[in-house]
Amino acid sequence: MKREVLIYKGFERFWHWTQAFLIMFLAFTGFEIHGVYSFLGYREAVRWHNIAAYMFLGLTVFAIFWHLTTGEWKQYLPTLKNLKAYLEFYLFGIFKNAPHPTKKTVLSKLNPLQKLTYLGLKVVIFPMSVLSGLLFMFYRYPTRHGVDWINIGSLEIVAIVHTVAAFLLITFLIVHLYLITTGHTLFSNLRAMITGYEAIEDEEKQGSDAGTNPPKEVQDA
Ligand code: HEM
């Protein structure tokens, strides 16, 4: 028996989709700044890139606050348990219709590979992108407020770090889009991030969330 359970709460879905849009927009304007194509024109691309960057920073502050106050940050604590099983699943099992090694629950909605990937995104790639982006914006500009003490001499290294982070984000995005389709059905993961609900295996104990979000019963397919 499966039940429809609220996996992604309202703010989480808002944060996810706004962040997805902003990252794609930042990539779009960023690669125009980089000189890959010309669409808005360099000056407009820089202006819109800066606006989107401030929105991304604002959203990130709210998201950090939400994760800390709800305790949802614990979802990202990495674990080695079942990591090998998931590596084998994504490399081989998935092509033979093997079942997912573990079942999703409200208290543990990310598998060990997702935990590692999202943690890496949050503690390595995002900071890399944001810090290099802020250095780009404010390094010695205007000079009297500049972060002279860093004394990096030129913005070249900053530009390289920022561009590498952008490529890493795009790689993540491509893999992420593929993995979205590998849920219980082709669209179950996408649907869950849109409606919040996903049909998951009935559990003896779903934790406190189950009480606040009464599950709707559905027949197992
Ligand atoms: C808060 C986050 C970010 C900030 C503050 C930021 C800021 C900046 C700034 C100030 C520039 C230089 C503009 C100029 O030349 O005047 C830049 C360039 C660029 N940004 Fe961002 N950015 C951020 C996020 C991103 C993201 C998420 C991506 C892509 C996914 C991205 C991709 C790029 C690219 C490709 C360039 C051109 C780099 C070059 O050719 O040197 N940025 N960014």
Q: What is the pLDDT of residues 48-72, one digit of tens each?
A: 999 999 999 999 999 999 999 999 9
pLDDT of residue 212: 37
User: In whole angstroms, what separates CA 120 from the centre of its chain?
Assistant: 10
Is the CB of 55 within 6 Å of ligand 1? no
Bond into 78 cis (ω within 30) = no
Name the residue at shortest CA distance from atom 26 of ligand 1. Answer: 26
CA angle at 198 for the pair 94 and 55, rounded to the nearest 5°:
95
Phi and psi (nearest 5°) for 144? -70, -20
Q: Whose CA is nearest to atom 8 of ligand 1?
A: 133
Low-confidence ranges of the chain (pLDDT < 50): 204-221
pLDDT value for 84:
85
The alpha carbon of 155 and the centre of ligand 1 are apart by a number of angstroms equal to 12
User: What's residue 185's pLDDT?
Assistant: 83
- What pLDDT does residue 51 have? 98
Query: What 3-state DSSP class applies to 6?
Result: strand
Is the CB–ligand 1 distance for residue 159 below 6 Å?
yes
Report the distance separating Cα 139 and Cα 145, nearest Å: 8
Is the minimum distance from the CB of 106 to ligand 1 under 6 angstroms? Answer: no
Q: Which atom of ligand 1 is nearest to the CA of 22?
A: 27
Question: Residue 207: what pLDDT?
Answer: 41
pLDDT of 38: 97
User: 27 in ligand 1 pocket by Cβ < 6 Å?
Assistant: yes
Which pLDDT score, from 0 to 100, does residue 71 have? Answer: 93
Q: Is 168 in the pocket of ligand 1 (CB under 6 A)?
A: no
Residue nearest to atom 23 of ligand 1 (CA): 133
Tell me the CA end-to-end span of the chain in Å, nearest whole number: 9
Instruction: Say if ligand 1 is within 6 A of residue 76 CB.
Output: no
Predicted local confidence at residue 164, as pLDDT: 98
